[in-house]
Chain A
Amino acid sequence: MARAFTPKVITANDLLEGDVIYFTAEDTWTRELSEAELITDEAVAPLRLLDAEKQNIKIVGAYLADAQAGPNGPEPTHFREDFRRKGPSNYSHGKQEAFANV
């Protein structure tokens, strides 16, 4: 039996900065997972990935990652994506650094 489809976001790394980015419903890229497009339709997911990959000139390695709806937008379901969203746990570097500065 095929596994039930779980919602996805499209994520990649920025070509220049190398940091984590997410694809929005407007075909732009954001640094915030909460602003990403949450794809709930299995048939749409590969098409949106193709849309994202049209921008391969400025991104690296787009893929579909599991996510779930939260009060403020998509949230990770797996710890790997949670780390990608925040940054490493040994220093306050990466995205969490920016949060600390606001």
Chain B
Amino acid sequence: MYKYNAFDEAFLAERNAQFRAQVERRIDGSLTEDEFKPLRLMNGVYLQLHAYMLRVAIPYGTLNSAQMRQLALLAEKWDKGYGHFTTRQNIQYNWPKLPDIPDMLDALGEVGLHAIQTSGNTIRNTTADHFAGAAADELTDPRPYAELIRQWSTDHPEFQFLGRKFKIGITGSPNDRAVVKAHDVGLRMVEKDGEIGFEVIVGGGLGRTPMVGKVIRDFLPQPDLLPYLESVLSVYNVLGRRDNKYKARIKITVQENGIDKIRELVEARFEERRHEFDGTDQALLAEIKTHFAAPQFRSGDTSAFDATYSADPVFRAWADTNLAAHRQADHAIVTVSIKAHGQTPGDASGGQMRVLADLAEEFGYDELRISHQQNVILPHVHKSDLPAVHARLKDHGLATANVGLISDIIACPGMDYCALATARSIPVAQEIATRFDDLKLEHDIGHLQIKISGCINACGHHHVAHIGILGLDRAGVENYQITLGGDATETAAIGKRTGPGFAYDEIVPAVERLVETYLAIRTSEEETFLETYRRLGMEPFKTALYPEAQKKVA
């Protein structure tokens, strides 16, 4: 994994010292809040409903055990004993006190973590496929490119004051697990004539005007990545609107100007820019790649796995849902669900973080990942170690066998924490998970993604959920709109609204009616909810959701 060099360390230490001084000056009254707010946001410090919030970047979702232990330390020393993993592969602390935050940042700096560019109109933390470097279907590890982007974009003078935030997502596999089509720029590794390059997608985004990104370049050779990205950003910097915050994201620039015009401008700019790159970036990339060399995978007999798999039904259920194919046939990728039924999606206690760190160290080549689905991944585990890993997870409430199932819900913090929220999302997620666990239906239902946002900003990705839930404030009462048919993969789609929303106490029964309908009309157990929706459309689900309206029509 990437190791900071002396320059990176000095940069981070200086940044932290600067911020410490800024906090002191805010506290002693030399800075007003108006002056201080942009400074704290640049360092990941928000003010939420009940307290400050510190957002820590987990670059491309990759952590080692020492870093995970440090996250646990922060949770226990300066927060309320837990942290919240988010859809942007960050961790958020919900209860820090302002005078403590500089110490928290220093503690993060000790393990090479920081909160820079987790906020503001800059290039944000580049998110990556959480199976990067491990997946069987991967062409090449995307993380060196994500790191290259991070080094290039951090404090890049041209891109500190963009029209709006700018998010880049990258996947090294044609199967998109990083929702790259919902990013300002999405990079999908593809192969052409034996060469690996990028499909470049631009103008995706969620929020109040959700859009699936459009392909601007179907094949970009790897060495052209930075000059091409600079060209996209530079066109955006000139054309992007600054008169209206809601029209400032590149998705609107693309929509208003058309992808063809944007492509033309970007290609023209690219012709100029590429000559300014003298190969330094490629040398840097080569150096970065050495940090991401795959571990020396051990080989060995996997019969222990097979024996437990056939003997232990609990292990088998977990293995069936929570394991994914590793590029080494005798290894597996373990997704540890941070979604125990009834718990807050994405919350892990300090103790759980330490268990995960220990497991990574003992069984997982010291590697951990955070997924945008708010789960934790042990990317490389030899199959013979899986029974031991599972047993330890079970002891700490981490062995829930629900990855990809109805209770594996993404939920934003919503009105329980977020100052922008119009309704709660966490308790809705908790109740849906508990309800379907009680019904013992979830394995029968199969793959189904529910995602919940507490306002139109869509941090919970509800637009790309099979069943999306959006919490709104309707005349002072929480009200939940449902969308169906969203898709977060390479076949990305924005879900469609079913109709009027539901009150807080009606939303879980409404979801239950949707699922009952699906179970009744699917052609077989193999047909997923999304496939049924695609085959039959909205009507049968609408009938189930709004029986009264149907009666009136009849």
Contact = CB atoms under 8 A, between A and B. Distances in A.
Contacts of A88: 50, 416-417, 426
Contacts of A77: 476
Interface of A: 13, 15-20, 56-57, 60-61, 77-80, 83-84, 87-91, 93-95
A57 B29 contact: yes
A75 to B, nearest CB: 14
Contact of A83 (B95, B96, B415, B476): B415
Contacts of A57: 29
26 contacts: A13-B47, A13-B51, A15-B26, A17-B51, A18-B96, A18-B98, A20-B50, A56-B32, A61-B33, A80-B49, A80-B415, A80-B473, A83-B49, A83-B424, A88-B416, A88-B426, A89-B426, A90-B344, A90-B347, A90-B426, A90-B427, A90-B430, A91-B80, A91-B344, A93-B94, A94-B51
Interface residues of B, number: 32
Contacts of B96: 18
A19 B430 CA distance: 25
A84 B50 contact: yes
Contact of B51 (A19, A78, A79, A80): A19
A84 B29 CA distance: 26
B6 to A, nearest CB: 35
A60 B33 CA distance: 7
Contacts of B47: 13, 18, 60-61
B477 interface: yes
Nearest to A59: B33
B32 A94 contact: no
Contacts of A19: 50-51
A24 B531 CA distance: 58
A87 B478 CA distance: 17
B415 A79 contact: yes
Contact of A79 (B29, B33, B347, B478): B478
Interface in B410-437: 415-417, 421, 424, 426-427, 430
Choose among A77, A79, A80, A90 the residue with the greatest number of B CB atoms under 10 Å from its CB.
A90
Q: Is the interface of A mostly helix, strand, loop or mixed?
A: loop
B295 interface: no
Interface string B462-503: 000000000001001110000000000000000000000000
Interface of B: 26-27, 29, 32-33, 47-52, 80, 94-99, 344, 347, 415-417, 421, 424, 426-427, 430, 473, 476-478
A18 B51 contact: yes
Contact of A89 (B29, B424, B473): B424
Given A13-B47, A89-B426, A89-B427, A18 B97 contact: yes
Given A20-B50, A93-B95, A83 B477 contact: no
A56 B36 CA distance: 12
B50 A18 contact: yes
B416 A78 contact: no
Contacts of B344: 90-91
A15 B97 CA distance: 9
B299 to A, nearest CB: 44
Nearest to B477: A79
A88 B476 CA distance: 18
Nearest to A16: B98
A77 B477 CA distance: 11
A90 B415 contact: no
Nearest to A97: B80
Contacts of B50: 18-20, 84, 87-88, 93-95
A91 B342 CA distance: 12
Contacts of A60: 33, 47
A60 B27 CA distance: 11
Contacts of A79: 415, 476-478
A16 B27 contact: yes
B508 to A, nearest CB: 15
A17 B97 contact: yes
B33 to A, nearest CB: 5
Nearest to B26: A15
A15 B27 contact: yes
Nearest to A82: B415
A90 B478 CA distance: 16
Contacts of A78: 476
Contacts of B98: 15-18
Contact of A90 (B51, B416, B473, B477): B416
A3 to B, nearest CB: 13
The 7 closest A-B pairs by CB, nearest first: A88-B416, A18-B52, A18-B51, A57-B29, A94-B50, A90-B426, A90-B344
Give the residue among B29, B415, B421, B473 with the most A Cβ atoms within 10 A.
B415
Contacts of A61: 33, 47
